């Protein structure tokens, strides 16, 4: 379960992590971007295993991956300052791609997410993506971004189909949402911020519910409701906020790449629905079939009404 006990070490680490991301995003100098990413890394490493109760393996893996990306970025920045533009851009882009966990250097994300705590996994899928994605959108050419967006949508949709681990499923799901965020970021920072806030809220609710599933009585019902709401938002089903965020990106985007994002979201509905069905069945008493039918009827009616309202608004 996610721990809400605030110790001085956790508080300082969280502050360093937040300051690092803000510094990296707001900096106009390459050194400031690199320094912000390093501060963010050091703060997050403590949050991954603050009390030493979790396996050190994901922390070591994450540190090696991020350190390698930092070295590549630093070498690229120095090369750029020496007026070797092509080599510098290649090194900087490779380091940023590795740190952000996007195609083609994305394979480390599921393995680290699988063995991390719920809090660390949630932060890794949300806040830790902000600075690398923003910087990547600045240095990567448009055609390169299109390749990354299409690849992430396809890998996330197909890779999550046969996953039994909730964390690994969420990691592949984040690939699909990353494609939407990158597409929104190429057109408007406001769209990116809006989608990121909705996605972070969805992941927060879903992970909170999953981390509390072993509690009994009212706690179990509350965690089931939270995870169910978060999952429906991640699915992008109307009339939930996840659907509205996708509509916003769709309306702002003028690129045919949006088709790949839509197809990725449609395919990913399969593993979302499978998990949602099993979660609802486990959270309800088997003998109370009337309650099960009532819940499913409410969910179906809500989605049909939401879809109808959106369709009428477009007509």
Binned average pLDDT, 10 residues per bin, the chain of 315 residues: 60 89 89 91 85 77 93 91 86 93 90 88 92 90 90 91 86 93 89 91 87 53 73 81 86 85 90 78 52 50 52 47
Quick one: 109 and 155 in the same domain?
Answer: no
Query: Does residue 134 fall inside a structural domain?
Result: no
Quick one: 200 and 51 in the same domain?
Answer: no
Query: Does residue 126 fall inside a structural domain?
Result: no
Alpha-carbon radius of gyration of the chain = 20
Quick one: 209 and 308 in the same domain?
Answer: yes
Closest listed residue to residue 235, CA positions, set 297, 283, 293, 176: 176
pLDDT of residue 280: 67
Residue 103 · residue 94 · CB < 8 Å: no
Q: What is the model's pTM? A: 0.84
Rounded-to-integer distance, Cα 16 and Cα 21, Å: 9
pLDDT of residue 315: 46
Q: Around Cβ 118, how many Cβ atoms within 10 Å?
A: 20
pLDDT of residue 298: 53
Query: Does residue 122 fall inside a structural domain?
Result: no
Direct distance between the N- and C-terminal alpha carbons of the chain, in angstroms, rounded to an integer: 46
- Number of structural domains (the chain) is 2
pLDDT of residue 263: 92
pLDDT of residue 98: 94
pLDDT of residue 292: 46
pLDDT of residue 2: 44
pLDDT of residue 12: 85
Domain that holds residue 65: 1-117
Q: DSSP letters along 184-244, please?
A: HHHH-HHHHHHHHHHHHHHHHHHHHHHHTTT--HHHHHHHHHHHHHHHHHHHT-TTSHHHH
pLDDT of residue 219: 44
Closest listed residue to residue 235, CA positions, set 196, 200, 276, 207: 276
């Amino acid at each position: 379960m996610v721990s809400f006990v605030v110790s001085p070490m956790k508080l300082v680490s969280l502050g360093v992590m937040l300051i690092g991301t803000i510094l990296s995003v707001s900096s106009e100098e390459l050194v400031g971007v690199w320094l912000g990413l390093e501060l963010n890394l050091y703060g997050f490493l403590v949050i991954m295993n603050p009390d030493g109760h979790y396996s050190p393996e994901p922390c070591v893996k994450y540190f090696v991956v991020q350190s390698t990306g930092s070295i590549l970025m630093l070498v690229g920045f120095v090369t750029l300052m020496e007026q070797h533009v092509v080599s510098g851009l290649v090194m900087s882009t490779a380091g940023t791609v590795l740190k952000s966990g996007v195609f083609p250097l994305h394979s480390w994300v599921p393995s680290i997410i699988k063995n991390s705590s719920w809090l660390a996994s949630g932060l890794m899928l949300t806040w830790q993506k902000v600075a690398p994605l923003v910087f990547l959108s600045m240095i990567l050419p448009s055609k390169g971004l299109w390749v990354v967006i299409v690849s992430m949508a396809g890998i996330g949709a197909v890779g999550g189909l046969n996953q039994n681990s909730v964390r690994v499923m969420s990691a592949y799901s984040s690939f699909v949402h990353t494609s939407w965020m990158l597409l929104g970021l190429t057109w408007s920072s406001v769209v990116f911020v809006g989608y990121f806030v909705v996605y972070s809220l969805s992941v927060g609710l879903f992970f909170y519910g999953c981390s509390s599933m072993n509690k009994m009585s009212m706690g179990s019902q509350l965690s089931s409701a939270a995870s169910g709401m978060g999952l429906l938002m991640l699915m992008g089903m109307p009339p939930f906020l996840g659907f509205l965020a996708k509509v916003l990106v769709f309306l702002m985007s003028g690129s045919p790449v949006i088709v790949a994002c839509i197809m990725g979201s449609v395919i990913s509905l399969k593993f979302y629905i499978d998990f949602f069905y099993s979660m609802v069945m486990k959270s309800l008493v088997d003998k109370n079939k009337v309650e099960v039918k009532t819940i499913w009827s409410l969910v179906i009616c809500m989605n049909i009404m939401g879809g109808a309202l959106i369709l009428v608004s477009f007509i």
